[in-house]
Amino acid sequence: MFTALLLSAPGTPIDPALAEALRGAWGGSALDWLAPGEAVEFGMPEIPSNRWDVWAELQQGGVDLVVQKTEGRRKKMLLADMDSTMIEQECIDELAAEAGVGERVAEITARAMNGELDFEGALVERVGLLKDLDEGVIARVLESRITHMPGGRALIATMKANGGHAALVSGGFTAFTEKVAAALGFDEHRANTLLASGGRLTGEVARPILGREAKIQALHEITTRLGVTPADVIAVGDGANDLGMLGLAGTGVALHAKPVVAEQCEVRVNHGDLTALLYIQGYRKEMFAI
């Protein structure tokens, strides 16, 4: 059995007639509203051949469509990227803005996340542009520039309340993942380390650099330690360096992702927030921990 799930953009309720029409066209079971106006699903025996045509049409109306196997959708572990996923910014871009090189660094970041540049080389180049920046800028950026992606705290709290484990794995920096992980309730975090001396950034990052392969390694290491399998993981990210872990996880979610990333993922959330990952697992809104 398979499940077709419709998710709305915040403030844009799903038209019940639209959901019913799709259910009828695909020969699905009765509609089941996980959240009134926000998330509705139905079961069906097979994946329809026009799945992606319907997906593209629904996108025009601010509705996401996720088609997946019904069995095994509830996961035991969350593996999440940080920048533009659990938070709404790219930390290195915000640091660069404080250093007066924001435009140049943002351009490199965008190309790296689109897979146009080698992640490690792009990171080294961008960090180099931060040389001599006052180390105290990190705290200022965290305080004034960083905001959490809506739904993140509910996602983690609900999964943990149901026995899940949450890990934050970022190609960004530990100075940020430490704060974000604590604020959102993650069990652990991994990221790169910005080097500093005499209160100023040196323009270098500690080796080895955590990138695409390190995220895959984290998935394997953490699941082995917990005694679960990659199939038990729901992973979420938006950039090219997330593709490895998204492909290995039982459910890999491309969240507001770059087109080159989204097109390689079966599960794409372009309009909903992080609570979409709970609906994808079959949680109802009244089951959310917060």
Question: Is-catalytic flag, 132?
Answer: no
Question: Residue 219 and residue 252: Cα distance in Å, rounded?
Answer: 12
Task: Give me the catalytic one of 64, 83, 242, 273.
Answer: 83
CA distance 242 to 216: 9
Least Cα distance to 4 among 34, 237, 15 occurs for 34
Q: What is the CA radius of gyration of the chain?
A: 20
Cα–Cα distance, 146 to 71 (Å, whole number): 37
Angle at the Cα of 116 (from 105 to 147), degrees rounded to 5?
Answer: 45
Buried/exposed code over 21-50 (b: 16+ C-beta within 10 A; e: otherwise): ebbeebebeeeebbbeebbbbbebeeebee
Instruction: Tell me the C-alpha distance between 290 and 286, whole Å.
Output: 9
Spatial separation of the C-alpha atoms in residues 183 and 93, rounded to whole Å:
21
The span from the CA of 255 to the CA of 151, in Å, is: 12
Which of 15, 53, 64, 81 is flagged as catalytic?
81
What DSSP string describes 127-139? Answer: HHTTTT-BTTHHH
* Nearest in space to 7 (alpha carbons), one of 55, 78, 73: 55
Active site residue 81: yes
Three-class SS state of 249: coil
Tokens for 240, please give them. Answer: 């090219």
The pair of structure tokens assigned to 58 is 């629904």
Catalytic residue positions? 81, 83
